[in-house]
Amino acid sequence: MTARQGAVAVSSLVPARMDRLPWARFHWMVVVGLGVSWILDGIEIQLISASGYKESLGMSSAEVGLAGTVYLIGQVVGALVFGRLTDRWGRKRLFITTLALYLIASGIAGFAWTPWFLHVWRFIAGMGIGGEYAAVNSAIDELIPARFRGRVDIAVNGTYWGGAMIGAVGSVFLLDHALVPEALGWRIAFFIGPLLGLFIIYLRRHIPESPRWMVTHGREAEAERIVDGIEASVRAQGKTLAPVDPRRAISVVPEDSVSYAQLVDVFFRQYPSRTLLGVTMMVTQSFLYNAIFFTYALVLQNFYHLDPSRTALYFFPFAAGNLIGPLLLGPLFDSVGRRRMIFGTYLLAGSVLLVSAFLFRQGVLTADTHTVFWCVSFFFASAGASSAYLTVSEIFPLEVRAQAISYFFAIAQVVGASGPLLFGWLVGEGTARDPLFWGYVLGSVVMMVGGVVALVYGVDAEGKGLEDIAEPLTKAGRAPGRDGEVVETA
């Protein structure tokens, strides 16, 4: 760790003051201003899937597929690059930069005249969204009071599916050549996200830097002023603030950055079981999601002989189940607890999928009933997947929080990319059900394994301050504790 020259220990009550705040308008601003990232990602993925630009740009099927691939690769690169910068330069600077990058790149992609031009700017737009995952998750966790953190993080991550539905509805109208000229519709569609983002980037200018991050980077006085302002706005709403226990103060020695060698030490020596937990949760949910989502249309067409135009309509109930799950189940992650809810959602998602696999094999399902099973399975899976992002963003020290998110996200994206390839091969032409049956069994088991690992190695983080879950690396006199140890809050 690179300490500031002449740095001395600073004692601060900033984290305790932030955690004892009642829910207020400030927190709604944070949720709306930062949480839109997942809505934008959902819009982008759905627009890419619609591929309305194929004929206009004279693209082959391979080139259309590449448009999706470069966007996902861009997400991985962006998460890795901007994740490190988020920990070094601050949350706010990066959640402004990454959104601006997305806005510019997506807008420029709408002016594409050749496939390569589209691919370049889709890659850059993906970088912006990938960076958002690291910067925004870090900021939300550090700005939201501990007792609300679980439900907020899970609900916000689940709004991806709200964005996907917006993108799907937009595509239905904009890609209807009877309503909008073919060469124009897909270009307009690419501006849906940026137009929404323009309002959000204005809102984000009023969201402060994370006071927690500022304390560990030698800006204690600024952090105090920000918290003073938040508290004043809360009091102005007629809300009462509980007194802060002075024993909750933390003492840190400000630092500038964490070296890669220190990152290795954090993940593999100090917190090896948490690293295993993060990797397992992220990879298992990514594999299941990508495997089912990117091939469900093939299943409906090849096994149930649905026309492609009708297949598109089945996306909406599927997306609705994914959206409703985190919204309804999110509060339970704060009350029932992280470990039990993660285990339960992963187990139930896998179990429902397993039941549907046997029914599919017996040929007793229809397109409608199979979709119902997908909806129920992903009602739980969506909450579980959102809890994976919550987990990796809260169980590591503040100084490496954004990088932890970015590394686990990147690993999950890379491994998860194998799901569509495998399931696409198993679906084939729809002539045999056994191969896909075993694919569903594999997906079920993979998800259940994620739940079991969470039950064994999970961290009971509900209601606890981030500094109690994982002490800051900059804490004065810090001696790395046992992996998985959580200090109970007073």
pLDDT digits (tens, 9 = 90+) for 305-331: 988 778 878 889 999 999 999 999 999
Q: What is the mean pLDDT of residues 119-129?
A: 94
Cα 300 from Cα 374, distance rounded (Å) = 12
- Both 233 and 296 in one domain: the answer is no
pLDDT of residue 486: 46
Q: Per-residue confidence at 468, pLDDT binned at 50, 70, 90?
A: very high
pLDDT of residue 40: 84
Would you call 485 helix, strand, or coil by DSSP? coil
Cα 156 from Cα 143, distance rounded (Å) = 14
Would you call 162 helix, strand, or coil by DSSP? helix
Closest among 162, 188, 159 to 56, alpha carbons compared: 188
Q: Is residue 445 part of a domain?
A: yes
Predicted confidence (pLDDT) at residue 163 exceeds the cutoff of 70? yes
Structure tokens at 148: 């609300």
- Both 293 and 437 in one domain: the answer is yes
Q: Is 335 left (phi over 0), alpha (psi -120 to 50) or beta?
A: alpha
Cα 379 from Cα 157, distance rounded (Å) = 13
Alpha carbon of residue 334 to chain centroid: 18
Helix-helix angle 272-293:338-362, to 10 degrees: 30
Domain boundary among 239, 270, 303: 239
Q: What is the mean pLDDT of residues 137-159?
A: 96
- Both 224 and 267 in one domain: the answer is no
Between 58 and 438, name the one with better pLDDT: 438
CATH value at residue 481: 1.20.1250.20
pLDDT of residue 51: 64
pLDDT of residue 480: 57
Q: What is the mean pLDDT of residues 293-298?
A: 83
Q: Is 432 left (phi over 0), alpha (psi -120 to 50) or beta?
A: beta
Q: What is the mean pLDDT of residues 369-396?
A: 97
Rounded alpha-carbon distances, angstroms, from residue 169 to 32, 47, 252, 296, 366: 21, 10, 50, 18, 25
Range of the domain at 41: 19-239
Q: Is residue 244 part of a domain?
A: no
Cα 140 from Cα 163, distance rounded (Å) = 19
pLDDT of residue 382: 97
Predicted confidence (pLDDT) at residue 490 exceeds the cutoff of 70? no
- Both 175 and 104 in one domain: the answer is yes
Q: Per-residue confidence at 238, pLDDT binned at 50, 70, 90?
A: very high
- Both 292 and 226 in one domain: the answer is no
Q: Is residue 40 part of a domain?
A: yes
Structure tokens at 366: 């229809």
Domain boundary among 207, 239, 271: 239
Q: Is residue 266 part of a domain?
A: yes
pLDDT of residue 307: 82
Torsion of the alpha carbons at 429, 433, 435 and 440, rounded to the nearest 10: 110
Q: Is residue 222 part of a domain?
A: yes
Predicted confidence (pLDDT) at residue 364 exceeds the cutoff of 50? yes
Domain boundary among 210, 239, 268: 239
Q: Tell me the whole-structure pTM to 2 decimals.
A: 0.91
For the chain, percent of residues with pLDDT exceeding 70: 95
Largest CA distance in the chain: 72
Q: Per-residue confidence at 193, pLDDT binned at 50, 70, 90?
A: confident
pLDDT of residue 487: 42
Q: Is residue 12 part of a domain?
A: no
- Both 141 and 272 in one domain: the answer is no
- Both 273 and 339 in one domain: the answer is yes
- Both 308 and 350 in one domain: the answer is yes
pLDDT of residue 484: 47
Predicted confidence (pLDDT) at residue 341 exceeds the cutoff of 70? yes
Predicted confidence (pLDDT) at residue 144 exceeds the cutoff of 70? yes
Predicted confidence (pLDDT) at residue 420 exceeds the cutoff of 70? yes
Cα 87 from Cα 100, distance rounded (Å) = 19
Cα 30 from Cα 143, distance rounded (Å) = 8
Stretch among 210-219, 265-274, 275-284, 472-481 having the lowest mean pLDDT: 472-481
Backbone phi and psi for residue 252, each to the nearest 5 degrees, phi listed first: -130, 155
Cα 2 from Cα 376, distance rounded (Å) = 49
- Both 211 and 301 in one domain: the answer is no
Rounded alpha-carbon distances, angstroms, from residue 431 to 4, 222, 364, 436: 66, 65, 16, 11
Q: What is the mean pLDDT of residues 229-236?
A: 97
pLDDT of residue 3: 53
pLDDT of residue 188: 86
pLDDT of residue 380: 98
pLDDT digits (tens, 9 = 90+) for 243-273: 999 999 999 998 878 999 999 999 999 999 9
Stretch among 87-91, 198-202, 269-273, 378-382 having the lowest mean pLDDT: 198-202
Q: Which stretches does DSSP call E strand in 161-205? A: none
Q: Token match 């003492």: residue? A: 251
Between 419 and 469, name the one with better pLDDT: 469
pLDDT of residue 5: 55
Beta strands 250-252; 10-12: pairing state: antiparallel
Q: What is the DSSP letter of 395?
A: S
pLDDT of residue 488: 37
Cα 123 from Cα 78, distance rounded (Å) = 9
- Both 190 and 267 in one domain: the answer is no
Would you call 251 helix, strand, or coil by DSSP? strand
Amino acid at 418: S
Structure tokens at 105: 């790149």
Please say whether the beta carbons of 99 and 367 come within 8 A.
no
Structure tokens at 206: 């009023």
Between 429 and 114, name the one with better pLDDT: 114
Cα 86 from Cα 90, distance rounded (Å) = 5
Number of domains in the chain: 2
How many other β-carbons are positioned within 10 Å of the β-carbon of residue 220? 18
The answer for residues whose C-beta is within 8 angstroms of residue 403's C-beta and 6 or more apart is: 83, 84, 86, 87, 134, 258, 263
Identify the H or E element spanning 135.
helix 115-143
- Both 233 and 264 in one domain: the answer is no
Alpha carbon of residue 98 to chain centroid: 15
Would you call 70 helix, strand, or coil by DSSP? helix
- Both 286 and 426 in one domain: the answer is yes
pLDDT of residue 184: 85
Closest among 199, 156, 167 to 37, alpha carbons compared: 156
Q: Is residue 442 part of a domain?
A: yes
Q: Per-residue confidence at 422, pLDDT binned at 50, 70, 90?
A: confident
Q: What is the DSSP letter of 167?
A: H
Number of alpha carbons in the 13 Å side-chain half-sphere of residue 202: 5
Q: Is residue 248 part of a domain?
A: no
Cα 490 from Cα 487, distance rounded (Å) = 9
Q: What is the mean pLDDT of residues 383-408?
A: 97
- Cα radius of gyration rounded to whole Å, the chain: 23
Stretch among 133-137, 150-154, 171-175 having the lowest mean pLDDT: 171-175
Would you call 385 helix, strand, or coil by DSSP? helix
